[in-house]
Chain A
Amino acid sequence: MRTLLRNRRAVAGAVILILYFFMATVGPILVPLKEGEPWKAFRPPSWEHPLGTDYMGRDVLAQIVQGSRDVLFVAFLAALFAILIAISLGIIAGLKGGFTDQILMTFVNMMLTIPHLPVMMILAAVFRVKDPFSFALILAFWMWAGLARAIRSQVLSLREREFIEAAKLLKLGTAHIVFKEILPNVMPYVAINFVSMMRGAIVSSVAIMFLGLAPFSATNWGMMLNMATIQTGAIYIPQALSYVLSPLLAIMLLQLGGYFFAHGLEEIFNPRLRAHE
């Protein structure tokens, strides 16, 4: 914990992430979404509307706050699904070995070389995604491969350790070995990856929403960008600058927070990195 507090980047990242967490949970209660007042469209920032209004005269701040909930929810689900797939396939490949391992690793290599964003976009467009769960599944399907490979190699090295040998000799069963011996040992690694996965899911989900391919939540930052750039042409209206900039800066700050936090954690858990500093 002390090393965590001493790492300034990790602390800065954590502070930003906590802010976003509160924005997504309590935020919508404090700044509720209201009906639009079309005669107030594209207003610049004012006391009443700190970030201005959109094409329908709706408050941009309230949308950004509500959007943080939409964006983080999808990203959280996607990271969760991806990690579940990665853990199961990684452990199966590492423990079983042999032919199963070969097949799974070939599959992993294929998944890693196919460019992710275009495939996710095609799937979202073809299936006309309408809810956060199926959207998160599409994202997760293209996110697990790298982690599965890393977990597999961890399991391969764990398999040779004494405590696994001991458990095998005691005939404790595969379930015991997987849940009591292997999972606790790969968990810290998974935890660090969770933040990075959410970051990746945010970038891709907002990109897909930007093109309007998953139009189920109007306040998702990507959807806001889609309305501002592609649908209404608000980018050409000088008074609407704050409306266009807000979602951009919201993504940027969240990404910076996630990046600093993840890298700080990595420095803490991987002392070799610290030695270089």
Chain B
Amino acid sequence: MTIIVKRLVLAILTITVAALVTFIVIQNVPGDPLYEWAMDMVQTSGLDFETAYKMAAQMYGYDPNQPLLDRLVTYVKRLLKGDLGYSMIYRASVNQIIAKALPWTAFVVSVSLLLSFSMGVILGTLVAWKRRSILDPLVTGYASFTAATPDYVTAMLLLLFFAINLKWFPSKGAYDIGIEPGFSLAFIGNVLHHAALPILSYTLEAVGGWALAMKGAAISVLGEDYIMAAKARGLKDQRIVTSYLARNSILPLITGLAISFGAMFGGSILIETIFNYPGMGWFFSQALMRKDYGMMQGLFLLTITATILANFLADILYAKLDPRVRLER
């Protein structure tokens, strides 16, 4: 059995086990989650309790009086149809919520990764190339500072100073309500204005780590013979740095890129909550705070699937990019 198949089996197994465990945990919630929902419907729509309870059970997807195994079968059947569940507080399917939320998270996460990765690579290469310069202690110090600071502390500080105190940036939403969504300059500007602080928090946190990783990789590449040969051939510094040093040092970082793409979906919970940014993390924290188990389960399943697939992808990518790693080992 090749390693790829092994990894794929492990990935699928992990997703299945995680989904199953979440299912069982959520099924055994203390108290009756349908009760509150049914009571709410009684008050808002004037139904009698019996009917409201039945309706709630139907929307929720199963009846808590059924045996666990039957409920699991119903759950899996719905999952296989691509139905991730129903949100009690939004009265909408989790799929609809994801369709609304996912683009925002994907947008913020990709822009932040792109920014922090490219800045980190440039800084790391420079530091490795000029080891005696003032840049080295500065970058290393900055990196340990951000590695020690939790991302939500950075986000809170940015919110307090740039959104609330100085009012340079908005503190909620992905765009202003008054603006018509579309491909207009005003809309894109507005979206960027709202996404600026979340992107900044991710980037400030991540850039130091990338710079350190790149520095480490570049220092080991600097010891290679082909760098010496390039120097001996009298190539310009700039050419050695870009075509020989950076190109070869970037390889080990690519896997990290895939992994952190997955990890940032999980990490978006607090940052999006702090900036009231309506992405996956924000909806997930709403589900947690307001005990919306259906939405919790659906969003979590998508998050673990994304993370685990990103890890799996990273493994394959690494082997493809670096021929020295043989997957068949």
Chain B contact residues, CB within 8 Å of chain A: 10-11, 13-14, 17-18, 22, 25-26, 29-30, 144-145, 147-150, 152-153, 156-157, 159-160, 164-165, 262-263, 265-267, 269-270, 273-274, 284-285, 288-289, 291, 293, 296, 300, 303-304, 307-308, 311
Asked if A115 and B263 make an inter-chain contact with CB atoms under 8 angstroms apart, the answer reads: yes
Whole-angstrom distance between the alpha carbons of A211 and B149 in the complex?
Answer: 18
B300: which A residues are within 8 A, CB to CB? 118-119, 122
Q: What 6 pairs between A and B have smallest CB-CB spacing?
A: A115-B266, A259-B148, A110-B14, A255-B148, A256-B148, A125-B288
Asked if A235 and B159 make an inter-chain contact with CB atoms under 8 angstroms apart, the answer reads: yes
Whole-angstrom distance between the alpha carbons of A260 and B148 in the complex?
Answer: 9
Asked if A118 and B269 make an inter-chain contact with CB atoms under 8 angstroms apart, the answer reads: yes
Asked if B25 and A122 make an inter-chain contact with CB atoms under 8 angstroms apart, the answer reads: yes
Of A44-52, A168-176, A244-252, the one contacting chain B is A244-252
Contacts A211-B289, A259-B147 given; does A248 touch B153 at CB 8 Å: yes
Instruction: Report A226 CB to chain B, min CB distance, Å.
Output: 9
Asked if A126 and B26 make an inter-chain contact with CB atoms under 8 angstroms apart, the answer reads: yes
Asked if B150 and A255 make an inter-chain contact with CB atoms under 8 angstroms apart, the answer reads: yes
Residue of A210, A225, A260, A263 with most partner-chain B CB within 10 A: A210
As a 0/1 sequence over residues 206 to 218 of chain A, the CB contacts with chain B under 8 angstroms (1 = contact) are: 1100111100000
As a 0/1 sequence over residues 192 to 207 of chain A, the CB contacts with chain B under 8 angstroms (1 = contact) are: 0000000100010011
| Residues of B contacting A: mostly | helix
A235: which B residues are within 8 A, CB to CB? 159-160, 164
Q: What are 14 sample pairs from A and B whose C-beta atoms fall under 8 A apart?
A: A114-B14, A118-B304, A121-B269, A122-B25, A199-B148, A207-B269, A211-B269, A244-B160, A251-B150, A252-B153, A255-B150, A256-B145, A259-B144, A259-B147
Is A100 part of the binding interface, using a Cβ–Cβ cutoff of 8 Å?
no
B296 touches which one: A106, A122, A230, A236 (CB < 8 A)?
Answer: A122
B263: which A residues are within 8 A, CB to CB? 115
Contacts A114-B18, A115-B303 given; does A122 touch B288 at CB 8 Å: yes
As a 0/1 sequence over residues 100 to 133 of chain A, the CB contacts with chain B under 8 angstroms (1 = contact) are: 0000001001100111111101110111100000
Residue of A nearest to B296 (CB): A122
Whole-angstrom distance between the alpha carbons of A128 and B266 in the complex?
Answer: 21
A207: which B residues are within 8 A, CB to CB? 150, 152, 269-270
Asked if A113 and B270 make an inter-chain contact with CB atoms under 8 angstroms apart, the answer reads: no
As a 0/1 sequence over residues 238 to 268 of chain A, the CB contacts with chain B under 8 angstroms (1 = contact) are: 1001001100100110011011100100000
Whole-angstrom distance between the alpha carbons of A264 and B153 in the complex?
Answer: 24
Contacts A113-B11, A118-B266, A122-B25 given; does A206 touch B288 at CB 8 Å: no
